Amino acid sequence: MRAKARAHTNIALIKYWGKRDEKLFLPTNNSLSMTLDQFYTETVVEFNPDLKQDKFILDGIEMNPEETAKVSRFMDKIRRYTGQSHYALIDSINHVPTAAGFASSASGYAALAAAAMKASGVSFSENELSIMARQGSGSASRSIYGGFVEWQKGEKEDGSDCYAVPILEQDAWDLRVLSVEVTHEVKKVLSREGMKRTVETSPFFAGWLAAVAEDLVEAKAAIDKRDFIHLGETLERNALRMHATTLGANPPFMYWQSSTVKVMEAVQALRENGIHAYFTIDAGPNVKVVCQPEDEEQIVDDLSELDVVQNIYRCKVGPGVSYLEG
């Protein structure tokens, strides 16, 4: 009744932006990501008949009732699905620098789902695990797998066809992601709030849905052919399209800062000088630069000279969920 799992973060190359069902975390569009090697969460789940409620420890600190309640609600879903009746001790360690702009929710809920499902003693498929992780954090569905992953939005109301699938294994294409930190301040509009506001009020959202479907086709074709320039142009365009929707929301909002734009312009300048680098930006101000191994050092050197850059974290393509106990 105990298991330990590790799951890695991922970066969306084709963005997930908008839900068709808030409760079940069902997205309005398919998305595509690359799992990263450097940042991960390790979680132990141990079901204990003597516990009167779930106990949640994060990075060695027992969480307050509010944070524990969030995890308990997710654990209730695991218990209903597996038939497990006991409460659990959940002990999780994040190896994710939140300042780098990587959401630990993806690796966190993927590791939690994997450890809890394993500790329950039932057998389960990776599809089932992806569906379960999705109900904690949408992007967690993609962290079940390594390499390049597509999260399929599905069509069914119950979400039974909404899960991630691998499209290219970890070792098949060596790309790099440089996370460029320009600030560690908490963003004013959280991702879930911004997504909901955009869906409900932005006149640009319908255009986003049409465009993202085209971008997905382009990105998958580029990955299939290992065409980096094609992939880079597609992922950068997709990120800009996503952020454009926020400007049309009511009230409008923006995740970028002036430092964000400086890094974007620097990446574009690198391309003008023959260095193949492309940026993508999630719901926040920090920038991810996608490049090939042979260009990594030059890009790091150039971006490090910008006065707005606080740190650069280097990542390679990473693995899927692994079990360390159980």
Look at residue 103 in the predicted model and tell me its pLDDT.
67
- Helices 205-225 and 228-247 pack at an angle, to 10 degrees, of 170
Is residue 145 classed exposed, middle or buried when 0-12, 13-18 and 19+ CB atoms within 10 A define those classes?
buried
Q: In what helix (H) or strand (E) does residue 40 lie, and over which residues does it extend?
A: strand 31-48
Q: How many CB atoms lie within 10 A of CB 39?
A: 23
Residues 165-195 as b or e (16 or more Cβ within 10 Å = b) = ebbbebeebebbbbbbbbbeeebebebeebb
Q: What is the mean pLDDT of residues 281-291?
A: 96
What CATH class is the domain 2-172? alpha beta
Q: How many CB atoms lie within 10 A of CB 203?
A: 10
pTM, entire model: 0.95
Q: What is the mean pLDDT of residues 253-277?
A: 97
How much is the mean pLDDT over the chain? 96
Q: What is the mean pLDDT of residues 49-53?
A: 97
Asked if pLDDT for residue 173 goes beyond 80, the answer is yes
Please state the φ and ψ torsions of residue 253, each to the nearest 5 degrees. Answer: -150, 165
Give 99's pLDDT tier (boundaries 50, 70, 90).
low
Q: What is the mean pLDDT of residues 76-105?
A: 88
Distance CA 296, CA 175 (A): 10
Q: Give the distance between the most distant pair of CA atoms in the chain.
A: 64
Helices (H), the chain: 65-82, 104-120, 126-134, 191-201, 205-225, 228-247, 258-272, 296-304
Apex 35 CA angle, 29 and 40, nearest 5: 120
Asked if pLDDT for residue 326 goes beyond 90, the answer is no
7 neighbors 40 (Cβ within 8 angstroms): yes
Distance CA 67, CA 102 (A): 20
Asked if pLDDT for residue 252 goes beyond 60, the answer is yes
Asked if pLDDT for residue 304 goes beyond 80, the answer is yes
Distance CA 4, CA 326 (A): 7
306 neighbors 263 (Cβ within 8 angstroms): yes
Distance CA 311, CA 198 (A): 30
CATH number of 178-316: 3.30.70.890
Give 288's pLDDT tier (boundaries 50, 70, 90).
very high
Give 104's pLDDT tier (boundaries 50, 70, 90).
confident
Asked if pLDDT for residue 98 goes beyond 80, the answer is no
Asked whether this chain's domains 2-172 and 178-316 adopt the same fold, the reply is: no
Could you read off the pLDDT of 202-244 as tens digits, one per residue? 999 999 999 999 999 999 999 999 999 999 999 999 999 999 9
In the chain, domain spans: 2-172, 178-316
Calculate what percentage of the chain has a pLDDT beyond 70.
98
Distance CA 287, CA 96 (A): 16
Asked if pLDDT for residue 284 goes beyond 70, the answer is yes
Look at residue 187 in the predicted model and tell me its pLDDT.
86
Nearest C-alpha neighbor of 121 from the set 46, 197, 57, 15: 46
Give 308's pLDDT tier (boundaries 50, 70, 90).
very high
Distance CA 71, CA 87 (A): 11
